[in-house]
Chains A and B, each alone.
Chain A
Amino acid sequence: MRQAVAPVEKRVGAIQAVLEERGMKPGEFIVQATRLAEEKWVPQNGARVVAKAWTDAAFRQRLFDDGIAAVAELGIEMPRHHRKLVVLENTPTLHNVICCTLCSCTAFTVIGLPPDWYKDLEYRARVVRESRTVLKEMGLDLAPDIEIRVWDTTADTRYMVLPVQPPETMGWPEDRLAAIVTKDSMIGVARL
């Protein structure tokens, strides 16, 4: 009779114990990695980028010309293997949305680690083929004249959406603008 599968927590503990015994110091790394995930790689980074693009036309153009260099101006680093950041401009008649059908690739240092639904089978399977329907189910009902562009992250180039600035926020200072930018809007499943 086959034995039952060990609970997932025990399996994590097993591999961690092995790495510990091999001298790889996993405990320390878990603390560091958790801090990075919770404090450094956060959507507030991308929100600052969006707010600056809304208020500074020259920065906005630099963002389109070389996304990695532009976000670096705001102190936001990208991993070395992400060699290009493509910033996708939404307009009143154009809507961009990002996915990774094969796994979960995200511009995580800029917009944060991906939310659970982004990594689930439903989103990965459906957003490329049923984009308008899926967005509507997720609460974004786009008018028929809005063109949809889907971006499947299959290589190490990363993407983020530059949302349309809500007209009622014109003239707001950058920090007030950044506070309204959500992770969902930078993935492209929401408009602000």
Chain B
Amino acid sequence: MDGIHDLGGKQGFGPVRHSPTAPVFHAPWEKRANALYSLAVRLGIFNMDEYRHAIERMEPRHYVAASYYERTLTSLATLCVEKGIVTREELERRAGGAFPLALPGAAGRSNVARREHFLPGDRVKVRRDHVPGHARMPAYIRGKQGVVVSESPAYPFPDAQAHGVQAADEPTFDVRFTTAELWPDSADQALVHVGVFQSYLERAA
């Protein structure tokens, strides 16, 4: 999904609001929201891929304005409604006000038909696919070339897992991109590594 959450390389933001003693949580409700979504995953109400995708499906203004744990809460509530555990009306009645949820998304997909295996040192290119549903392909690597530096064990394929679609687990390859390739003449020089699923990759010419 080419959603608002896909922030890598987006310009216009100000300084990172950092302190060396920065907290994880700012308030007790945040700890509760974090625990509640973890409980839901543990109980099998939804999986992590569905959880991430429900955050991505938040209306963009809501996504950008919300704090991190409000995004967690919104995803949890959205999935509980979508899975039939509770209605939105009941949530709003209990909360005493509106309870904005994420918007519906598109369908998922299974693994691509032709997947190749790569070795460290192979030059690869990220396929120019635009996935309507959940995908863990940041837009800043789409169509770009890089070099494989290592392989990871097979993981559940997010494009399918977030949508209840059947798929085989796929290895990911840590691909090294130069910032010159990603943002020509428009970036601080560095090597950027991204864990790319096998279905997102093809061999470079």
Contact = CB atoms under 8 A, between A and B. Distances in A.
Interface in B103-151: 136-138, 140, 150
Most chain B CB within 10 A, of A11, A83, A182, is at A11
A40 interface: no
B68 A119 contact: yes
Contact of A5 (B23, B36, B98): B98
A73 interface: no
Contacts of B43: 24
Contacts of B90: 18
Contact of B8 (A4, A17, A102): A102
A34 interface: yes
B190 A149 contact: yes
Interface residues of B, number: 82
A107 to B, nearest CB: 13
B100 A5 contact: yes
A184 B16 CA distance: 14
A128 B13 contact: no
A155 interface: yes
A104 to B, nearest CB: 7
B32 A16 contact: yes
A6 interface: yes
Nearest to B137: A154
A163 to B, nearest CB: 14
Contacts of A154: 136-138, 172, 194-196
Contact of B35 (A30, A104, A123): A30
B14 to A, nearest CB: 6
A133 B179 CA distance: 14
Contacts of A30: 31-32, 35-36
B35 to A, nearest CB: 4
Interface centre among A13, A34, A127, A150 (most CB of B within 10 A): A150
A29 B17 contact: no
A124 to B, nearest CB: 5
A166 B165 CA distance: 50
A121 B7 contact: yes
Contacts of A130: 187-188
Contact of A12 (B36, B42, B96, B155): B36
A102 B6 CA distance: 5
B20 A155 contact: no
A29 B35 contact: yes
Contacts of A138: 16, 18
Contacts of A124: 7-8
Contact of A134 (B6, B16, B73): B16
B136 A6 contact: no
Nearest to A150: B192
A150 B190 contact: yes
Contacts of A155: 136, 152, 155, 172, 195-197
Chain A CB count within 10 A is highest, among B7, B11, B77, B100, for B7
Nearest to A131: B190
17 contacts: A6-B96, A6-B98, A15-B91, A29-B36, A29-B42, A81-B155, A113-B24, A114-B24, A121-B13, A125-B10, A126-B13, A129-B179, A130-B187, A132-B190, A138-B16, A152-B138, A152-B194
Given A33-B35, A37-B31, 4 more contacts: A6-B96, A16-B32, A117-B22, A155-B155
